[in-house]
Amino acid sequence: MVSMETVFSAVALVAAPFAGGLLMGVDRKITARMQSRMGPPVLQPFYDVLKLWGKSPVITSRLQPILAFGYLGFSFLSVALLLFGGDLLSIVFTAALAEVCIVTVSMSAKSPYSYLGGRRELFCMLSTEPLMILSALSIYIVTRSFIVENVLTFEEPLLPLLPGAFIVTGIVLLIEMRKSPFDVSASSHAHQEIVRGVYTELSGYTMALVEVGHWIRTVLVLSIASIFWAPNILVGWGLALALLFMVILADNAFPRLSWQRMVKTSWALGFALIAANVLLLVVTGGATI
Amino acid sequence: MNETEQPVEVNTVIPFGPQHPVLPEPIQLRFTIHQDKVVGVVPNIGYIHRGIEKACELNDYKKNVSLCERVCGICNFMHAMAYCEAVEELTDTEVPDRAKYLRVVWSELSRLQSHLLWLGLFADSIGFESLFMHIWRDREIVLSLNEKTSGHRIHLSTCAIGGVNKDMDKGLISEYKSGMELLERRIRELAPVFYKDRSVKDRTVGKGVLPKKRAMLLGAVGPTARGSGIPQDMRRLGYEAYSNLDFEPVVHDEGDVHARLLVRLEEVFQSIRLIKECLEKMPEGPVMNKNRRFPNGATVVRIEQPRGELFYNVMGNGTKRLRRCRIRTPTLANIPALVDILVGYDVSDIAPIVMSVDPCISCTER
Amino acid sequence: MRLVTRARLKSPWILHFDCGSCNGCDIEILAALTPKFDAERLGVVNIGDPKQADVIVVTGPANPRSARALRSLYEQTPDPKVVVAVGACAATGGVFRNCENVFGGVDKVIPVDVYVPGCAARPEQIIDGLLLALRKLKEKDGG
Amino acid sequence: MHILHGALIKMPRMIKRVLRSLLSRPATVRYPFVKPEPARGTRGGISFNMDRCDLCQDCERVCPSSSIKIYQDSGRIEYQPFRCIYCHICVRTCMQRAITPSEMVRGPAYEKSVDVYEVHR
């Protein structure tokens, strides 16, 4: 017998890329308005991806299509794990696998821009992965479980207990969405010293796949952020969207920083916030270690 | 290629250009990178060379005004003005006083346009999209004044031999005044971003340092030299109406990217002030003296372009064609300095450092 | 009309290459993307990577050296693509017609689909040129 | 209070401007849909008035881009709008005032067209 929840999760899984594309469109619109422009229509990301799908690709290495599919597939898998109540840690690792795919794509090409982009993407991974794991750990400390299903059924909202971990998720979102100040590996507008960075060698349908994968990853991080108000999914998503707005605001208020600065900032800020948060929990008796 | 045959220390070579979104113009800079640091730069130019100097000898000397104007689209008025000044000297043509003031107004307007363009492109090169957009939005004020003056947003085409071929009426002057006030207000609002914002400072302070002695040795000009503490400004030679105006060159001593940034930012305010002063002091009268002679002899003109010293050496031989028209542009003088300041910095600093000397390749190669 | 064709008309990513212009047109192309004209309304993005571009926007009269770079960019850009020559000198050489080192027009190097007149071309004209190029793209698709 | 003030000072400087433009109207002219009036004196295309032209070739002589060709014997003028740099020097030079400047700029095209004018005798 298929339960209601399973059906809901399956629908959400199918809707995830569309939601991601829509969020990207809203992001581009808000960014444009912040720059006092009109901005593209909200459906613009879908036009872009459809067009890329129909364009004849330039395949520079044989690995490229497989890895592009891999990026999309693993991103999908991580969202699926989240929706079907999987393990937070395995979600983080699956997401990292997707990242490995795109790094391999860019490293396997001859272009120096792509190579440098891949290297910087590795540094992005180096900044985000520990923060994701720490975030998951701090959730574990409160709820005594890594399983999303158990976290969701935890009796009280997590945010008052874990404000630090929530901010850390915001930093992860900033890096994951490739927004200033941390858009070191690639940027949507390509006004950057390494042109399109990791995306340089992608074209046609491989680029479309990676673009959709990127949307899904954004949805993934936002859903993790929404867990912080687990009892009520609507409040949770409201929080996640507020985080998205803060990220867009940061994108427009900062220049791009160097990758060294990115690693330093994210580690220092991330570790400090999580440590302070855990300390607070112990002091207030919210959790026992 | 056999992997094992490679030396242990592999240097990556990055060809930066000729097509690159950070630089709208084609120049190739081949960077040798070692462990994310630039160890060598080889500039590779010639993508824009058109042979304007030769064409100046083939044309009628009056047509050259339009051609010289198109040496560079950004500072087009200054090129036309320098050429006209040279020909006026060779033909003993007196320029009316009002025309002199109008030339100063329009050349300062060019400088304003160029510096705002640069501030925007620089913001873009450090990945500050929104600042780029806001600066370019404010730049439209200058362009709309250009359009009202001469009917075109970029190429003013108002400079002619013997004066200027457009006059300003009362209405336009008041529009200029209100436009300058609006622009000043809007740029003042953005100025703290360049002065104080910590993230901008993080990208600019201490990057691409050019000490004063080195700048002198390499012959840097314009804001690149002024950012290194050299108070060099050709406007102090007092050409056109500059001798009647009151100003001091903007100088910063640090010699890094931030200093060059501040020099240009402060020159924006200086230009606004100069334009206002000119509009106040402008005398009435004709704007054009007809010239009936052919250029004869040789002369040298030096004027201050937004990027530095512009040098025209025009030789005539008493016919309608010139014997020689030699143009030396500021970016050419700044390329040795550019190559020097890039070495030793990170790959991520390449874009701001290259932008900091404001390379204008179409001037450089002509 | 096919879905992909419709999407193609709404998302022209441009590759800008200057092969010898005076900068006038180049800054106007950038100005067309900034707040006053904001070509991003029409989906225009200055992508800078030939492999992902749909519209090649060329300025300048082309000289032997930049022609080589231009030709390689044209070959790197996958189909379907259109070329827009912006400015008088990209169309015919314009004021540089008798300079020694110019070919006098981009169409001597690569096939050009749309010519935009003006020196420098205004942002309005450039946007019109892009829209005309898109119509050509549609014709190429058989739409 | 001092700490709060310090934090505000150190806040990124761009946020104020960015938020204000988010809430105010964008500066965009919706160009292809809304066509603004051309500014007075815009240097647009030119056209020849053949009733006035006396084929003196003055405009051909001054044209910096050689976009005007006048054939005196056949009474024909060829004007290349895609070579023209729209400097309007010809308009100022023409003694007969036979060249009419327009404020409408020339639109883009698939082909480089040439405008041909002929004297009706």
Chains contacting B (3 or more CB pairs within 8 Å): A, C, D
What's the pLDDT tens digit per position in B311-320? Answer: 899 888 888 8
What is the residue extent of each domain of chain A? 4-284
Does B202 contact D at CB distance below 8 Å? no
Q: How many CB atoms lie under 10 A from the CB of residue A52? A: 27
Q: How far apart are CA B193 and CA D15, in angstroms?
A: 10
What pLDDT sits at residue B4? 47
Share of chain C above pLDDT 70, in %: 98
Does D35 contact A at CB distance below 8 Å? no
Q: Which of A36, A249, A254 lies closest to D21 in CB terms?
A: A36
Q: Indicate which CATH number applies to the domain containing B124.
A: 1.10.645.10
Does B157 contact D at CB distance below 8 Å? yes
- Evaluate whether residue B23 is within a structural domain: no
Does B167 contact D at CB distance below 8 Å? no
- Evaluate whether residue C143 is within a structural domain: no
Q: Given the DSSP bridges, would you call strands B308-317 and B322-328 parallel, antiparallel or unpaired?
A: antiparallel
For residues B108-131, give the mean pLDDT. Answer: 89
What pLDDT sits at residue D61? 86
What pLDDT sits at residue C1? 63
Q: Indicate which CATH number applies to the domain containing C57.
A: 3.40.50.12280
Q: How far apart are CA C67 and CA C64, in angstroms?
A: 5
CA B202 to centroid of chain Cα atoms: 26
What's the pLDDT tens digit per position in C63-102? Answer: 888 888 899 889 888 888 899 999 888 888 888 888 888 8
Among C10, C30, C72, C137, the strongest candidate for a mutation testing the A interface, having the largest count of A CBs within 10 A, is C10
- Evaluate whether residue B13 is within a structural domain: no
Q: Flag if C52 and A50 touch (Cβ within 8 Å).
A: no
Instruction: Give the count of Cβ contacts less than 8 A between chain A and B.
Output: 81
How many separate domains does chain D show?
A: 1
Helix (H/G/I), strand (E/B), else coil: B335 = helix
Query: Do B312 and B83 touch, CB atoms closer than 8 A?
Result: yes
Does D12 contact C at CB distance below 8 Å? no
Q: Which of D27, D29, D108 lies closest to C117 in CB terms?
A: D108
Q: Which of C113, C115, C118 lies closest to D105 in CB terms?
A: C118
Q: Flag if D31 and C114 touch (Cβ within 8 Å).
A: no
Does D107 contact B at CB distance below 8 Å? no
Asked whether residue B133 carries a pLDDT value surpassing 80, the answer given is yes
Q: Flag if B127 and A191 touch (Cβ within 8 Å).
A: yes
Instruction: Report ipTM for this prediction.
Output: 0.89
β-strand partners of D68? D79
Q: What chain C residue is nearest to B136 in terms of C-alpha separation? A: C34
Residue C83 domain boundaries: 3-138
What pLDDT sits at residue D37? 78
Q: How far apart are CA A161 and CA A282, in angstroms?
A: 11
β-strand partners of D76? D71, D118
CA-CA-CA-CA dihedral for A255, A257, A262, A268, to nearest 10: -80
What pLDDT sits at residue C92? 87
CA A211 to centroid of chain Cα atoms: 12
What's the pLDDT tens digit per position in B220-267? Answer: 888 989 988 888 888 888 888 888 888 888 898 888 899 999 999 999
**B306 to chain C, closest Cα gap in Å:** 15
Q: Which of C42, C48, C78 lies closest to A58 in CB terms?
A: C78
Q: What chain D residue is nearest to A31 in terms of C-alpha separation? A: D22
Give per-residue burial for B1-21: e unless 16+ CB within 10 Å, then b: eeeeeeeeeeeeebebbbbbb
Does D26 contact C at CB distance below 8 Å? yes
Asked whether residue B6 carries a pLDDT value surpassing 80, the answer given is no
Q: DSSP letters along chain A, please?
A: ---HHHHHHHHHHHHHHHHHHHHHHHHHHHHHHHTTS----TTHHHHHHHHHHHSPP---STHHHHHHHHHHHHHHHHHHHHHTT-BHHHHHHHHHHHHHHHHHHHHHSS-HHHHHHHHHHHHHHHHHHHHHHHHHHHHHHHHS--BHHHHHT-SS-STTT-HHHHHHHHHHHHHHTT-TTS--S--TT--STTTTGGGTT--HHHHHHHHHHHHHHHHHHHHHHHGGGTT-HHHHHHHHHHHHHHHHHHHHH-PPPPHHHHHHHHHHHHHHHHHHHHHHHHHHTS---
Q: Which residues on chain D are in Cβ contact (under 8 Å) with C92? A: 80, 82-83, 112
Q: How far apart are CA A102 and CA A117, in angstroms?
A: 10
What pLDDT sits at residue D11? 66
Q: Indicate which CATH number applies to the domain containing D20.
A: 3.30.70.20
How many separate domains does chain B show?
A: 1
What's the pLDDT tens digit per position in A196-213? Answer: 778 888 888 888 998 899
What pLDDT sits at residue A46? 92
What pLDDT sits at residue A4? 79
- Evaluate whether residue B43 is within a structural domain: no
Q: Flag if B137 and A36 touch (Cβ within 8 Å).
A: yes
How many separate domains does chain C show?
A: 1
Does B62 contact C at CB distance below 8 Å? no
What does the mean pLDDT of chain C come to? Answer: 87
Q: Flag if C128 and D108 touch (Cβ within 8 Å).
A: yes
For residue B284, the 8-state DSSP code is P
Among A30, A36, A53, A55, the strongest candidate for a mutation testing the C interface, having the largest count of C CBs within 10 A, is A55
| Alpha carbon distances (Å) from B56 to B75, B103, D85 | 18, 23, 17
What pLDDT sits at residue D113? 84
Q: Which residues on chain C are in Cβ contact (under 8 Å) with A198? A: none
Q: Which residues on chain D are in Cβ contact (under 8 Å) with C125? A: 105-108
Q: For chain B, state the CA radius of gyration.
A: 21
What's the pLDDT tens digit per position in B350-359? Answer: 888 888 888 8
Helix (H) or strand (E) holding C16: strand C13-18
- Tokens found for residue B33: 């990178």
What does the mean pLDDT of chain A come to? Answer: 85
Half-sphere exposure of B280 (CA within 13 A, CB side): 9
- Tokens found for residue B289: 């003296």
| Alpha carbon distances (Å) from C101 to A20, A86, B29, B313, C31 | 51, 67, 22, 21, 29
* Reported confidence tier of residue A73, pLDDT bands at 50, 70, 90: very high
Q: Which residues on chain B are in Cβ contact (under 8 Å) with C63? A: 46-50
Residue D56 domain boundaries: 2-118
Q: How far apart are CA D69 and CA D52, in angstroms?
A: 17
What pLDDT sits at residue B1? 41
Degrees to nearest 5, angle at CA A272 with A268 and A275: 145
Q: Flag if B132 and C48 touch (Cβ within 8 Å).
A: no
Q: Flag if B154 and C27 touch (Cβ within 8 Å).
A: yes
- Tokens found for residue B341: 């300041």
Q: Flag if B16 and A35 touch (Cβ within 8 Å).
A: no
What's the pLDDT tens digit per position in A170-199? Answer: 888 888 888 878 877 776 665 666 777 788
Q: Which residues on chain C are in Cβ contact (under 8 Å) with B59? A: 98
Asked whether residue D1 carries a pLDDT value surpassing 50, the answer given is no
**C20 to chain D, closest Cα gap in Å:** 16
CA-CA-CA-CA dihedral for B21, B26, B29, B30, to nearest 10: 90
Half-sphere exposure of C124 (CA within 13 A, CB side): 17
Q: Which of C19, C75, C12, C4 is nearest to C41 (CA)?
A: C12
What pLDDT sits at residue A1? 58
**C42 to chain A, closest Cα gap in Å:** 6
What pLDDT sits at residue B3? 45
Does B193 contact A at CB distance below 8 Å? no
Q: DSSP letters along B159-190, please?
A: EETTEES----HHHHHHHHHHHHHHHHHHHHH
Does B190 contact D at CB distance below 8 Å? yes
- Evaluate whether residue B158 is within a structural domain: yes
For residue B330, whether the previous peptide bond is cis, meaning omega lies within 30 degrees of 0, is: no
Q: Which of C15, C23, C34 lies closest to B73 in CB terms?
A: C23
Q: For chain D, state the CA radius of gyration.
A: 25
* Reported confidence tier of residue C143, pLDDT bands at 50, 70, 90: low
What does the mean pLDDT of chain B come to? Answer: 86
Q: What chain C residue is nearest to A190 in terms of C-alpha separation? A: C47
Query: Do D111 and C85 touch, CB atoms closer than 8 A?
Result: no
Does C31 contact A at CB distance below 8 Å? no
| Alpha carbon distances (Å) from A18 to A42, A181, C13, C41 | 12, 27, 22, 21
Residue B228 domain boundaries: 49-365
Helix (H/G/I), strand (E/B), else coil: C99 = coil
What pLDDT sits at residue B201? 85
Q: For chain C, state the CA radius of gyration.
A: 14
**HEC secondary structure over A130-178:** HHHHHHHHHHHHHHCCCEHHHHHCCCCCCCCCCHHHHHHHHHHHHHHCC
Asked whether residue A26 carries a pLDDT value surpassing 80, the answer given is yes
For residues D71-94, give the mean pLDDT. Answer: 87
Among C14, C19, C22, the strongest candidate for a mutation testing the B interface, having the largest count of B CBs within 10 A, is C22
Among C2, C36, C51, the strongest candidate for a mutation testing the A interface, having the largest count of A CBs within 10 A, is C51
